[in-house]
Amino acid sequence: MGDVTALAEEQLSALAAIVGADRVLDGPAGAEQYGRDWTRAHVPAPCAVVLPGSIAEVQSVVRYARRAGLAIVPSGGRTGLSAGAVAARGELVLVLDRLNGIDDFSPVDRTVRCGAGVVTAELQAYAEAKGLFYPVDFASAGSSQVGGNVATNAGGIKVIRHGMTRDWVVGVKLVTGTGELLDLNRGLIKNNAGYDLRHLVIGSEGTLGVIVEVTVSLADPPGDLAVMVLGVPDLGAIMDVLHCARGRLELHAFEFFSEEALARVVEHQELQRPFDTAAPFYALLEFAQPDEAALEAAMAVFEETVEQGWVLDGCVSQSVAQAQSLWRLREDISETISRWTPYKNDISTRVSDVPGFLAEVDAVVSEHYPDFQIIWFGHIGDGNVHLNVLKPDELPMDEFQARCGEVSRWVFEIVQRHGGSVSAEHGVGLLKKEYLSYSRSETEIELMRGIKRVFDPDGIMNPGKIFDL
């Protein structure tokens, strides 16, 4: 527990006058609860926590903070993995929990308006009750909030079919660093009237202002889906499988994991191997199966990829329960390997670059640290891989962490050579700030700083996240 920077009594009173006395928390409990995200490297130390109950209150808080010279950290579900919602330097935490209304559903427009504090799973359930579907889904859907999803452009496991959060946002309300309210795009599908500031806000991690409301569009329910798991001899073959399957199957997910990952999941989660043949890598394909023709197409893909030597063995789900079991082989990896306190990295390249990228990372890590075991898995159909390096049991944690700092540099240098991204879906926050220049040129970073100054001239909105001013 870090020191909680104290606010003067008059400052607390001023905030209480805006949001109500019981909505201002200035003790360690509030700091602990609201002062950080799922990362644990930073000790929370906000000056106070406020829970406004309306957009107008958010504006008033921001205006007060600006006058008082306080920095603001917007706080949603705090499930972030890059320390974007950490308040470790005496910031005022602005909690969006109370802006949690879902309304203005339009069946014709297929849109619905959400307060920033609506939990992702609530939105998903709301859409389902309307016979529709909110397709952005990921492990933290039960506690992440819509505003935070937009602030970080959350991705997940269905991106190959449904895209990122960005693709479902048709309106955003933002309170800028000067307390002005922007009502961006207002649910329009076609709107070419000046710069699309909505897209600038999406993924800006709270540095341009506080997202207070989001209008999302909803999709048709996905219908029946089937899962196929294929064992492949190498990653190049996975690219061939992807190329073969696309255009013939309606892919909803195209994931991969290594034999090292599968072996651990099967051992520790009491799961069955999908088939007897062990393979260096596995592809997991989820695809729409509305009718027999779709299953025949899947079988044709399987046969053709086996014939070509791209696939060693495979299986396809015959029921929803089997599909779920096959998914667990992929989804349980993270939890399974957590006992080895792995070094993790979330990066992307162009899809076709993934095999080369992985080979280079494997080579450099095994050259320097032959005892390091790398577990690969991720959304390979989007070019997004999760790199996990397991800590050797005998290696002290601090030594492991020091070596992983080196690994980061090597990985990001390889990312840079491939023109990839140092953060595929988790954002930059504090965690990857020092590595941003591996993905973005100095000119781009300087432009970002300039844009931030336009939205937030005094630099009070989540300062120090993504880049330093």
Window 20-79: residues binding a second copy (CB under 8 A): none
Cβ of residue 445: shortest distance to a second copy, in angstroms?
7
Distance CA 152, CA 149 (A): 5
Cβ of residue 59: shortest distance to a second copy, in angstroms?
12
Closer residue to a second copy (CB): 109 or 304: 109
Which is it for the CA torsion 74, 78, 84, 87, positive or negative? positive
Which of 107, 142, 309, 405 is in the footprint of a second copy by CB under 8 A?
Answer: 107
- What mask of x and - would describe binding to a second copy in positions 332 to 371, judged by CB under 8 A? ----------------xxxxx-------------------
Closer residue to a second copy (CB): 4 or 202: 202
Cβ of residue 349: shortest distance to a second copy, in angstroms?
7
Distance CA 114, CA 56 (A): 16
Greatest Cα pair distance, the chain, in angstroms, is: 76
109 touches a second copy (CB under 8 A): yes
Tokens (6 digits) for 327: 């998914």
308 touches a second copy (CB under 8 A): no
Helices (H), 166-217: 197-201
Cα angle value 356/362/364 (rounded, 5°): 105
130 touches a second copy (CB under 8 A): no
Tokens (6 digits) for 209: 């202002």
Looking at residue 288, the DSSP 8-state letter turns out to be E
106 touches a second copy (CB under 8 A): yes
User: In the Cβ-directed half-sphere of 257, how many Cα atoms lie within 13 Å?
Assistant: 26
Which of 36, 330, 391, 432 is in the footprint of a second copy by CB under 8 A?
Answer: 432
Pseudo-torsion of CA 5, 26, 430, 213, nearest 10°? -140
108 touches a second copy (CB under 8 A): yes
DSSP string covering 124-147, please? HHHHHHTT-B-----TTTTT-BHH
217 touches a second copy (CB under 8 A): no
Closer residue to a second copy (CB): 144 or 204: 204
421 touches a second copy (CB under 8 A): yes
166 touches a second copy (CB under 8 A): yes
Which of 124, 152, 336, 462 is in the footprint of a second copy by CB under 8 A?
Answer: 152
DSSP SS3 for 293: helix
# binding residues, a second copy (CB under 8 A): 81
200 touches a second copy (CB under 8 A): yes
